[in-house]
């Protein structure tokens, strides 16, 4: 698959999703960017804003194996990874795979699961494999986790551990739809369930090829310097207790390449880095308690750092 064919296919996937998800063009673009970068996405918002429908629309559009987990405090780690069960006729234990054996796994309301169950996803997210009873089982390729969560102030929720947050490529918020989109949901019969009838316009093999093309997008040295200066700037900000990690720098580079590819370019612009920074870094920064009490947010910190950074000019093509 060449760049032109891949970009046409991406546009088809985008149009397919936009046909049933109204008023969320930017959020759809963010999800496709994460898909191209091979990363996992945390989607945070109040219930009823269409988080599950968006993920389902992407899964159906690429025709992959899709599984969904409804997280709750009773969920066990083996409910995700699978379990070995003794087979009397074979006289041996047989692995029964859990829902993690999918191309796209939706963990709905992940912060309603206990921390022990949340940690069961760590190996799958980072290593693309699970270990059950001493045996390792490789996950399908590509594998993407889309986890939805309610705001942590909601009753019955648990904060995600920092180690798990750092493994999400990006965190997005959907927000409420605009007035026209909400009116369309109310007036059109079945509009809220339109994602159920979507047809696949691509395959998981297509996605794997597009991921390789996105990874090969050119990141010019001066843009890389700009990206690193942003990462290091988060560590020096007075409101930040713990800044962006080296893993965050790699994630921002991958997301910026994917975003450039999504926008039909073969090279990364500083604007790509600026566009991806809030999505990739905001959940990875940990603020000082006094800054949080004063209402400072991680997005404001990123804006402060970006405002002081000189933007590179005269890049090589």
Transcribe 96-110 into DSSP letters: EE-TTSSSEEEEETG
Is domain 3-199 given the CATH code 2.60.120.260 in the classification? no
Give the chain's mean pLDDT.
86
Residue keyed to tokens 């047809």: 199
The pLDDT value given to residue 315: 54
Output the six-digit token pair for 17: 């999703």
Angle at CA 40, nearest 5°, toward 35 and 42? 115
Is domain 217-308 given the CATH code 1.10.8.80 in the classification? yes
- Tens-place pLDDT, residues 143-165: 999 988 877 655 556 677 777 78
What residue spans define the domains of the chain? Answer: 3-199, 217-308
The pLDDT value given to residue 77: 85
Rounded to whole angstroms, how far apart are CA atoms 282 and 299? 6
Output the six-digit token pair for 90: 């074979």
- Tens-place pLDDT, residues 25-43: 899 999 999 999 999 999 8
């Amino acid at each position: 698959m060449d760049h032109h064919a891949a970009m046409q296919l991406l546009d088809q996937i985008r149009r397919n999703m936009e046909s049933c998800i109204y008023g969320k063009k930017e959020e759809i673009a963010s999800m496709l960017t994460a898909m191209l970068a091979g990363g996992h996405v945390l989607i945070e918002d109040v219930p009823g804003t269409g988080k599950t429908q968006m993920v389902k629309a992407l899964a159906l559009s690429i025709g992959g194996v899709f599984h969904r987990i409804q997280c709750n405090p009773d969920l066990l780690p083996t409910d995700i990874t699978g379990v070995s069960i003794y087979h009397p006729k074979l006289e041996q234990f047989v692995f029964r795979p859990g829902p993690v054996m999918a191309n796209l796994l939706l963990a709905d309301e992940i912060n309603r699961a206990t921390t022990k169950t949340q940690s069961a996803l760590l190996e799958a997210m980072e290593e693309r494999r699970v270990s059950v009873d001493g045996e390792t089982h490789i996950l399908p390729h590509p594998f993407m986790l889309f986890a939805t969560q309610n705001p942590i102030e909601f009753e019955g929720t648990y904060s995600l551990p920092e180690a798990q947050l750092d493994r999400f490529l990006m965190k997005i918020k959907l927000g409420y739809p605009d007035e026209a989109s909400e009116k369309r949901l109310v007036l059109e019969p079945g509009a809220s369930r339109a994602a159920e009838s979507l047809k696949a316009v691509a395959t998981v093999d297509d996605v794997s090829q597009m991921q390789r093309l996105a990874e090969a997008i050119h990141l010019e040295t001066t843009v890389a310097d700009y990206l690193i200066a942003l990462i290091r700037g988060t560590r020096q900000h007075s409101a930040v207790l713990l800044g962006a990690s080296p893993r965050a720098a790699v994630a921002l580079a991958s997301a910026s390449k994917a975003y450039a590819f999504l926008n039909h370019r073969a090279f990364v612009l500083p604007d790509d880095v600026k566009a991806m920074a809030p999505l990739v870094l905001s959940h990875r920064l940990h603020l000082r308690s006094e800054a949080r009490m004063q209402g400072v947010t991680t997005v404001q910190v990123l804006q402060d750092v970006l405002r002081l950074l000189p933007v590179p000019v005269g890049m090589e093509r």
